[in-house]
Amino acid sequence: MKLKITFLALFLCLWQILSLFFENYVLPSPYTTLLAIFRMIDYNLFNAVFVSFFRLFLAYVLSVMISIFFSVFSQFSKNIGALIETVMSSIIKVPNIAYLTIFMLIIGVGSYTVMATIAITIIPATTLAFIAILKQLDENILEVTEIFEVIYFKRVFYLYLPMIFESFYPVFQMSFSLGFKVMVMAEFIAGMDGLGYKLVEKKISFNIDELFGYVVIMTFTGIFFQKLLEVIYLKIKDVHSRI
């Protein structure tokens, strides 16, 4: 915690020093940005935060569920596993902006395009991460399941899903942050509302202090929601371990 506070203080000091060499419409100071944030606290701000994180939460949950399905299904046979890994590896190599452009042409601008872009980014990354986790299963356990001819569905519920759940925390940290960044990009380019779209509004109206204010708001709200979901996950994991 002390290290984070020290880093934040150094960052603010550097920001303040740099702002002295630029006009306010180029790089506003931290104090000017803070005043802009207080000015923006109204219904529109809270609505933008709610819309963005509702999209992110919904797209993230659906993406994780799809990723779990693909990763578990990859254990059905080596050929299926190799196919899924190849497809996911190919999808992840394509730039996010390319998928966003395709979705804009097919779906148009708006929430569905934003959510689809988040999903197409998260699914391959989390699927490959879950497959890597499942590859760490003890070979002796797998041999025992083969000897006693344990059916696939029992392996899913008693081996694969519990292992994914136990190892989900680092995957969550990576994938949620990735989804958040993609959400902002997608809303900036193809959104009609939300935090990313607010950046467009402030850019067009040349309200640079409010634009920086929204960047600060996005940063802290992103950290807050990630920490909130982390706490919920750890509580569920703690309850599950006691059962």
Residue 64's pLDDT is what?
Answer: 93
As to burial, measured by CB atoms within 10 angstroms (0-12 exposed, 13-18 middle, 19+ buried), residue 160 is buried
Domain 29-242 fold is MetI-like fold (1.10.3720)
Residue that is written with structure tokens 């254990």 in the block: 75
Residue 108, phi-psi category: left (phi > 0), alpha (psi -120 to 50), beta (remainder) = left
If you compute the radius of gyration of the chain from its CA atoms, what whole number of angstroms results?
Answer: 22
Q: Mean pLDDT over residues 94-120, rounded?
A: 92
Q: With H, G, I as helix, E, B as strand and everything else as coil, classify residue 39.
A: helix
Give the confidence band of 243 by pLDDT, cuts at 50, 70, 90.
low
- Structure-block tokens of residue 128: 């490959």
Residue 143's pLDDT is what?
Answer: 65
Residue 135's pLDDT is what?
Answer: 83
The distance from CA 197 to its chain's CA centroid, rounded to whole angstroms, is: 18
Instruction: Provide CB contacts within 8 A for 241, sequence distance 6+.
Output: none
Q: Which residue has the higher pLDDT, 162 or 115?
A: 115
pLDDT digits (tens, 9 = 90+) for 24-74: 778 888 888 898 889 888 888 899 999 999 999 999 999 999 999 999 898
Residue that is written with structure tokens 């081996």 in the block: 159
Q: Share the mean pLDDT of the chain.
A: 86
- Strand blocks (E) in the chain: none
Residue 88's pLDDT is what?
Answer: 93
In the predicted model, is pLDDT for residue 105 greater than 90?
yes
In the chain, the percentage of residues whose pLDDT exceeds 70 is 92
